Structure 1
């Protein structure tokens, strides 16, 4: 199964946000390259909100290009077998934490937002960090910091807050 096929399957099974889910599926149906950064009208991305082992903080990155506190995530790559794999790869690369584990098999939320390169049709997951996890700032990040749940709304935008709310509901 290709990453494109996996994305369609994941979105078909996703039982929430019907209008946005429909937009994602229509985009993929209209754009054979809709998974890739090369699709200038927009493309799917994958991200994950990293939760600490005690489940009372999340790790956010101060994105190097956008200059906002965000969850880890980004573009799909040709080696990604699934959207979940892409989200886990991105979270691991950007957090520097090996051994992250997705909280559930499917996405927590969808979020569509404009970026300097194109519209991102983000498929958002949540990942649990292992015990004694130590983060390491990547080249894509200006900073990396753990925030208590009550601090997130003070530093991040509404999309990150909604992802946190969805993640907490899973916990």
Structure 2
């Protein structure tokens, strides 16, 4: 199965939690139907990306990265790569790379948490967002893609991050 096929299957099977999320789900599926390269950065009309909100094992804090290029506090995430077998693999790889936590990081069961479409300097990102839990005692390490990496309590996220990250955090908390 190709990554394009997995993305299509994942989005077809995903139950959107709201009307706006259902509209995005259908937009993503239309994009994939129209673009055989819709999961790759080379797709100029936009592309599927994968991200993961990293949460502590107790479920009280989230780990955000101060993105080097965008200079915003964000969840871990980015472009799909040829080695990614699934969107979940892409999200977990990005979370591991950007958090520096290589072992024990696991995605919450049940598939994506939410979807977010946003314009970036390279193109529209049709982000499929997951949540991942770090193992007890894991120490994050700043990657080359980050200016900083920091834990934030749930009540602090709205002070540093945009509404997309806040919505992802809120949806993740509702699932815990």
TM over 0.5: yes
- Note the 1:53-72 alignment, pairs <5 A: 53-72=57-76
- Note the 1:1-171 alignment, pairs <5 A: 1-16=1-16, 17-98=21-102, 99-171=104-176
Task: List structure 1 segments (4+ residues) > 2 angstroms apart after TM superposition.
Answer: none
Structure 1 residue 170 displacement after superposition: 1.2
Distance 1:47 1:90 in 2: 7
Distance 2:164 2:109 in 1: 20
Structure 1 residue 105 displacement after superposition: 3.5
Structure 1 residue 54 displacement after superposition: 1.7
SS state at 1:12 partner: helix
Structure 1 residue 79 displacement after superposition: 0.5
TM-score, length basis structure 1: 0.99
Distance 1:103 1:64 in 2: 27
SS state at 1:111 partner: strand
Contact 1:124-1:163 within 8 A present in 2 as well = yes
The count of corresponding residues between Structure 1 and Structure 2 is 171
Q: What runs of 5+ residues in structure 1 fail to find an aligned partner?
A: none
Q: What runs of 5+ residues in structure 2 fail to find an aligned partner?
A: none
